């Protein structure tokens, strides 16, 4: 209640009330801006290429002018990059830096389990992360004890449609989005193109729980099994075990059991 009998107290009370209202409005505006910026970052993360301001505006349901202001602020902080020409707007280096920090945490959690698989099977175990919905990049590895083994360098990247970890990552997307990613890779790399219906059926099976597989598809003489992990924040990782094809059939049941045990352990099943 405002004391009308004391003008000074009345003025102070009105000022305090106005201050609280302004603070509330500022907080609401700030939350709205953060929410809109997050929507824009998610849309860019789901895109297989750069987007224009108009495309972003359509996908997030905001006026182009609003998107332009938010994009300018995000670019200033390094969260997005605006490329010249037709490349459009993409996620920036600061997002990649944050992702690498999160990758360090997941490496720590998964490495003991990866070691268990490697020690049990004698095979190499790889950990990869999906980058920009376009490539799988290896970020960790436990090298097996077999004399004849398959080893890829940390930091190398691989396509989605011909690798076990790539197919596993594709299966984490809804069918329509997964199809877009597959077609985009086929268009960018025609040498990888294959019959789409059979590949989509393979992705559906992985989505239902089957381990992803690569039998001499990416590299002749190398086969692999794997599965994907979706982390909070939309990061997608995949664990895979590559082996020389000469012993893949003999060890497939053993590798399947080891990977399914790891998946169940990690997911708490």
- Give all strands of the β-sheet with 135-142 in edge-to-edge order: 157-158, 135-142, 125-131, 235-244, 222-231, 212-215
Partners of 215 in the β-ladder: 223
Q: Is the pLDDT of residue 269 over 60?
A: no
Q: Are 164 and 182 in contact (CB under 8 A)?
A: no
* pLDDT at residue 28, as a whole number: 63
Mean pLDDT of the 89-101 span: 69
Q: Of 43-57, 108-122, 132-146, 197-211, give the lowest mean pLDDT range.
A: 43-57
pLDDT at 102: 60
- Between 240 and 24, the more confident residue is 240
When pLDDT is averaged across residues 19-47 and rounded to a whole number, the result is: 69
Distance of alpha carbon 2 from alpha carbon 185, whole angstroms: 68
Is residue 54 predicted with pLDDT exceeding 60? yes
Q: Is the pLDDT of residue 19 over 80?
A: no
Average pLDDT over the chain, rounded to an integer:
83
pLDDT score recorded for residue 178: 94
The CA R_g of the chain, rounded to the nearest whole Å, is: 25
CA–CA distance, 212 with 227 (Å, rounded to integer): 6
CA dist., res. 43 & res. 69, Å (int):
16
Say whether pLDDT at 50 is over 80. no
User: Does the pLDDT at position 17 exceed 60?
Assistant: no
Would you state the pLDDT for residue 9?
54
Distance CA 220, CA 93 (A): 34
Residue 2's pLDDT band (boundaries 50, 70, 90)? very low
Copy the structure tokens of residue 237.
């990782």
The string over 75-106, giving b where at least 16 C-beta atoms fall within 10 Å of a residue's C-beta and e elsewhere, is: eeeebbbeeeeeebbbbbeebeeebeeebeeb
Examine the pLDDT at 1 and tell me if it is beyond 50: no
Give CA–CA dist 222/9, Å, rounded: 82
Q: What is the pLDDT of residues 216-227, one digit of tens each?
A: 999 899 999 999
pLDDT of residue 222: 94
Residue ranges in the chain assigned as alpha helix (H): 7-46, 53-60, 64-76, 93-121, 164-170, 175-188, 196-207, 245-267
User: Rounded to 10 degrees, what is the CA torsion of 68, 69, 74, 80?
Assistant: 10
- For residues 148 and 174, the answer to whether their CB atoms sit within 8 Å is no
DSSP string computed for 112-178: HHHHHHHHHH---EEEEEEETTTEEEEEEEE--S-SS-----TT-EE-STTSHHHHHHHTTS-HHHH
Structure tokens at 145: 């004890």
pLDDT digits (tens, 9 = 90+) for 226-245: 999 886 556 899 999 999 99
pLDDT of residue 106: 80
User: Is the pLDDT at 146 greater than 50, yes or no?
Assistant: yes
- Per-residue pLDDT for 103 more than 80? no
């Amino acid at each position: 209640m405002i004391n009308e009998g004391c003008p000074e107290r009345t003025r102070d009370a009105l000022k305090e009330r106005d201050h609280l209202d302004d603070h509330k409005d500022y907080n609401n505006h700030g939350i709205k801006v953060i929410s809109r910026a997050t929507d824009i970052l998610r849309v860019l993360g789901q895109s297989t290429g750069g987007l224009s301001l108009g495309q972003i505006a359509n996908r997030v349901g905001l006026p182009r002018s609003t998107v332009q202001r938010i994009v300018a602020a995000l670019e200033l902080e390094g969260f997005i990059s605006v490329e010249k020409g037709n490349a459009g707007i993409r996620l920036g280096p600061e997002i990649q830096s944050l992702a690498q920090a999160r990758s360090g945490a997941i490496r720590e959690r998964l490495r003991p389990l990866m070691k268990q698989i490697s020690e049990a099977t004698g095979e190499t175990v790889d950990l990869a992360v999906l980058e920009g919905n376009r490539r799988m990049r290896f970020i960790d590895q436990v090298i097996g004890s077999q004399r004849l083994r398959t080893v890829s360098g940390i930091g190398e990247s691989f396509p989605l449609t011909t690798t076990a970890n790539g197919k596993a990552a594709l299966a984490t997307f809804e069918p329509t989005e997964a199809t877009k990613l597959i077609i985009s890779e086929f268009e960018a790399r025609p040498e990888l193109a294959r019959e789409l219906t059979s590949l989509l059926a393979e992705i559906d099976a992985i989505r239902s729980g089957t381990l992803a597989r690569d039998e001499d598809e990416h590299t002749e003489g190398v086969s692999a099994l794997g599965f994907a992990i979706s982390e909070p924040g939309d990061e997608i990782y995949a664990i895979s075990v590559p082996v020389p094809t000469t012993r893949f059939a003999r060890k497939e049941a053993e590798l399947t059991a080891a990977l399914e045990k790891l998946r169940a352990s990690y997911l708490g099943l």
